[in-house]
Structure 1
Amino acid sequence: MALADLDGLPTKIAAGIVKKIGRLEAGLHGDIKRLKEHDRAYRLRMGDYRVLFEVEGQTITICRVKHRREAYD
């Protein structure tokens, strides 16, 4: 799902999001918040877009990349 979400975005925005996702390897730093409804779910903010992901141990799973209007539906 996340790859399809990225494919639908303008190239410049998608490239910025991919860069921020790559930085997650160094740790959960930056504009990241834990989502209240889920124990392992987080969001990363990139302008008007949100990267929704889960963390389990050392594994980060990117679930969705959506505009902020649609991210939490």
Structure 2
Amino acid sequence: MASYQIEFKSSALKELERLPRQIIPRAIAAIKGLAENPFPSGVKKLAGFERTYRVRVGDYRIMYEIHEDRLIIENIRVKHR
């Protein structure tokens, strides 16, 4: 399987910069992993969207879309349970 090209929306980059320092390396590792396997275990397809998925990294959610060979990181949000 070919690797996907990762693109960040500017809002997602800002959200990544605002994460706690101990979470940033985990989030980056998860995003790099999505380039190789965009459907890891635990991934959820978002209802009402054709190509949008989310994956958890601790208490955070990474939302992304897949367009042909591009993986677009939409946003990273805090979602405490």
Count the aligned residue pairs.
69
Q: Distance in 2 between matches of 1:18 and 1:30?
A: 17
Question: CA RMSD of the aligned region, Å?
Answer: 1.1
Please report the TM-score for the alignment, with normalisation by the length of structure 2. 0.79
Confirm or deny that 1:12 pairs with 2:33. no
Q: Distance in 2 between matches of 1:10 and 1:24?
A: 21
Cα drift, residue 13 of structure 1: 0.4
Give the one of 63, 75, 79 matched to 1:68.
79
Q: Kindly indicate whether structure 1 or structure 2 has the higher relative contact order, using CA contacts under 8 Å at least 6 residues apart.
A: 2
Please report the TM-score for the alignment, with normalisation by the length of structure 1. 0.87
Q: Distance in 1 between matches of 2:21 and 2:42?
A: 22
Structure 1 runs of 4+ with >6 Å offset: none
